Structure 1
Amino acid sequence: MLEAAGVAVFALTGALVAARKGMDPFGFILLATVTGAGGGTLRDLLLARTVWWVEAPLGVIICAGVALVAWTIAYLRPGRLDGWSAKRLLLWADAAGLALFAVAGTQKALAAGVPVLSAIALGAVTASFGGILRDILAGDRAMVLWSRDFYVTAAAAGATATALLTALGVSAALIMLGGLAAGFGLRAGSILLGWSFPRLPGSDEPR
């Protein structure tokens, strides 16, 4: 359920980028699917297990559905999905997807019996990789490289909180809420308040 929500939200970010690039319906589906499925695919490959969407194609169906709805809106309402508000929606949807996949990825890794540190790393990879693929395919600068913004750090925070709460034996609901709060909260602070690591000496990277 958590991963399905992450797939849908991340697929939306891929569709929003496709709208900004003026792609055709298949471009929408490609970017939405790569974004929604990319992180989980890499996680499963690293865990040497059958890739999740191969076992159950519901995730790909969700991505395609989100993409086609977005393309229809973009076609019927030109400019609706590529303005300033759409860019803000992209940022916030990406932050939500990041947090959802950090939690889901960490839980799946822990369930596979990997060490805690490896599970945290896999959670961060699951949360980050789809967005990286989206931006590369679209010819954009990956969000993970946006100056000093917390991105992978936010994913790692969500993954770490999930692993720690799991080790403490708290309820599944608290694990989910704690992981989401850590990941989304740190990313939101970076977007709204400029939270970031200090600038490196001599760096001229603009904010």
Structure 2
Amino acid sequence: MSLLLLLFDLLGTFVFALSGGTLAVRYRLDVFGVLVLSCAAAVSGGLARDVLIGAQPPAALADWRYLAVAMLAGVVTFYRHETIERMRNPVQVFDGAGLALFAVLGTSKALDYGLSPFAATLLGMLSGIGGGVARDVLVARIPVVLKAELYAVAALVGGGVVALADVFDLPRTPAMAVGALVCFGLRYMAIRHGWHLPAAHLPDDRN
């Protein structure tokens, strides 16, 4: 089980790093910039989660494989970005996959550290959105979580499935699979159909 969770964690790291690397290439950053953005997108959420729950040192720093996987994704994106760009909305797809994996894994880890289901769900959301926020801030654009269709909400729902399973003593692994699928499905459908929360609107300035 621990090996399976590690593999999913590394997979989430890889796909988030792809989203960061793809965005870096779109902003015409050099190879160092691509690697930095890939690593920031991949590990920032996990770092924040581990610091808050007291998991020291954070997994992304204690285990070399996380940064290695992130940098590998950055190199792949730098040299094969045209292939990646042929996919439909690659940044959003990779970001959605990373969001789903990190939301359920973050919730599960927070539960293991004794947090309440509600707090664990919030930590799962932070794990999912933290990398995207760091990625967007580094290229000076408004973080997707503040304006995109059902981003943080999708992470909350995915993590909530895992937390509810813990409340009712249901098996953790199937709940994580269902939570990840629900989170990714919500994010994908929101991208595809424009589902979003109500946004603030200022009255027209008629003066």
TM norm structure 2: 0.88
Deviation at 1:187, TM superposition (A): 1.0
From 36, 57, 70, the equivalent of 2:77 is: 70
Deviation at 1:166, TM superposition (A): 2.7
Aligned to 1:167: 167
Distance, in Å, in 2 between the alignment partners of 1:168 and 1:82 is 41
1:54 matches 2:54: no
Aligned to 1:133: 134
Q: Which runs of 5+ in 2 are unaligned?
A: 1-6
TM norm structure 1: 0.88
Distance, in Å, in 1 between the alignment partners of 2:140 and 2:201 is 29
Aligned to 2:94: 93
1:102 matches 2:110: no
Aligned to 1:26: 32
Aligned to 1:41: 47
1:197 matches 2:204: no
- Distance change >3 Å, CA 169–CA 27, structure 1 → 2: same
Distance, in Å, in 1 between the alignment partners of 2:197 and 2:38 is 30
- Runs of 4 or more, structure 1, over 3 Å off, are 198-204
Aligned to 1:6: 12
SS in 2 for 1:150: coil
Q: Deviations over 1:134-192 (max 9, x none)?
A: 01101222111225x21111111111011112333333431122111221121112111
Distance, in Å, in 2 between the alignment partners of 1:25 and 1:127 is 25
Q: Deviations over 1:107-158 (max 9, x none)?
A: 00000011111101100000001101101101222111225x2111111111
CA contact (8 A) 1:165 1:178 kept: no
Identity %: 30
- Distance change >3 Å, CA 155–CA 203, structure 1 → 2: farther
CA contact (8 A) 2:104 2:176 kept: yes
Work out the number of aligned pairs and report it.
197
Letter in 2 for 1:15: G
User: What is the root-mean-square deviation of aligned Cα atoms in Å?
Assistant: 2.0
CA contact (8 A) 1:11 1:35 kept: yes
Q: Which runs of 5+ in 1 are unaligned?
A: 75-79
Q: 5 Å matches for 1:113-192?
A: 113-146=114-147, 149-192=149-192
CA contact (8 A) 1:7 1:37 kept: yes
Deviation at 1:26, TM superposition (A): 1.0
Distance, in Å, in 2 between the alignment partners of 1:142 and 1:87 is 21
